[in-house]
Amino acid sequence: MQGGRSIATPAYIGGVSLGAVVAAGFMWWTGAPAASLGTVVVVTALAAVAHAYPIQGFRHQAYQVTLPLIVIAAAAFSAPQLVAFILLIHLAEQARLRRRLYIQWFNACNYLMSAAIASVLYHRAAALLPHGAPGQLIGAVAAACSFILVNRLLLAGVLWLARGLSPASSGLFQPELLAADLVIAWIAGPMLVVALDAGSFTLLFSAGPLLLARPALSSLIGRRTPSMRPPLSRAA
């Protein structure tokens, strides 16, 4: 069983890596327009700070409040800009936390695939919905929800293979945490609309709720941790 797991886990990580390349390539093929250098710098800098300070989760997971900034990058960045964005925020996290490289590689590929899918979904929604703020709001929420779903599913798979944690026991799909993710995701819509209308510098103000979301999420995870059952297996 352990030998099978040791083979399955690298194969799964390789599959996710390939999926990230394919998703980024499809985003490139759809021709998403590039954002200005100022927008890229502001969004990436804020996201790097948010991503470098994760909240320790239940079972080997970490939670960040980076999601609204990822949605903005998915909506406004071109494919090369989005790839650079994902790599830079994970490098910022790695510089501070020094995770094992294969874990950080999987995280980056997971985020890239999830963000690329969110980007394609946002632009498709924006093309079908009315132009302006209503379409941007709906597209941003749809992109955020797709990111949450794809990211959690990919993470659940690797935790099952590498740690022996089933999706139910991993804590990834607890209603309280999903609700917290959706609340954070909801912020992405207004942040995106204001940034597109008034300029990316407004993110320095509109990102303020994320400062409150972080301690709230930390408190929620802290209260839920004692009630979780012991892991099904030890960490790999």
Q: 26 in a domain, yes or no?
A: yes
For the residues 38-64, what does the mean pLDDT come to?
79
For the residues 39-44, what does the mean pLDDT come to?
94
Angle (CA) 50 153 92, round 5°: 25
Q: 81 in a domain, yes or no?
A: yes
CB 102 within 8 A of CB 82: no
Q: 236 in a domain, yes or no?
A: no
| pLDDT tens per residue, range 117-171 | 999 999 888 888 777 788 888 889 899 999 999 999 999 998 888 877 777 777 6
Q: 203 in a domain, yes or no?
A: yes
Q: For the CA atoms of the chain, what is the radius of gyration? A: 17
pLDDT of residue 226: 46
Which pTM value belongs to this model? 0.84
Q: 230 in a domain, yes or no?
A: no
Least Cα distance to 35 among 44, 48, 46 occurs for: 44
Q: 119 in a domain, yes or no?
A: yes
pLDDT of residue 234: 30
Domain that holds residue 47: 2-225
Residue with tokens 């026991």: 169
How is the chain split among helix, strand and coil, in percent rounded to 5?
80, 0, 20
Residue with tokens 């912020």: 187
* Top-ranked range on mean pLDDT: pick from 30-34, 119-123, 180-184, 216-220: 119-123
Q: 180 in a domain, yes or no?
A: yes
pLDDT of residue 223: 57
Least Cα distance to 185 among 124, 140, 153, 219 occurs for: 140
Question: For residue 192, what are the CA distances in angstroms to 9, 59, 68, 128, 175?
Answer: 37, 32, 8, 18, 26
